[in-house]
Amino acid sequence: MNRDEFVRVVTQLVHGTDNVYVPSYPVCVECKLNGTVCRYDEGDYCLGPIALAGCGAPCPADGIPCEACRGMVEDANQKSIEKVMMEHGGLSEKRAKEKTRMFTANFRSDA
């Protein structure tokens, strides 16, 4: 959680909001809005396409992959992102599977 999100959530709670807003789109949206060079263009991997946004995509902006620490978007296609990470991100199948399980094991339908 960054400063802006903290202020927004606390403000919503103080005003008695029942449902605190959490974006439903992936980190890639925020990354593109930031104008960040995609990790895949650098030969790296990234979980941004399936990662739940709201953080402002600071990791790709700092030149490191998104690890989906906030969880996955609804209906995330884990198998597809594993394939992308293997074919374009230089990861072995084992490493790609480990990456999609690191913060999101409870979301997987095939875990």
Q: Which of 12, 58, 79, 97 binds ligand SF4 (CB under 6 A)?
A: 58
Q: Which of 3, 8, 43, 60 binds ligand SF4 (CB under 6 A)?
A: 60
Q: Which of residues 82-111 bind ligand SF4 (CB under 6 A)?
A: none
Q: Which of 38, 80, 90, 98 binds ligand SF4 (CB under 6 A)?
A: 38
Tell me which amino acid residue 71 is.
Answer: G
Query: Using the rule CB under 6 A, is 49 a contact of ligand SF4?
Result: yes
Q: Compute φ and ψ for 52, nearest 5 degrees.
A: -70, 125
What one-character DSSP code corresponds to residue 54? Answer: -
108: tokens are 């997987």
Burial class (CB in 10 A: 0-12, 13-18, 19+), 44: middle
User: How far apart, in whole angstroms, are the C-alpha atoms of residue 60 and residue 100?
Assistant: 17
- Chain position whose Cβ is nearest to ligand SF4: 48
Residues that bind ligand SF4 (CB under 6 A): 27-28, 31-32, 36, 38-40, 46, 48-49, 51, 55, 57-60, 66-70
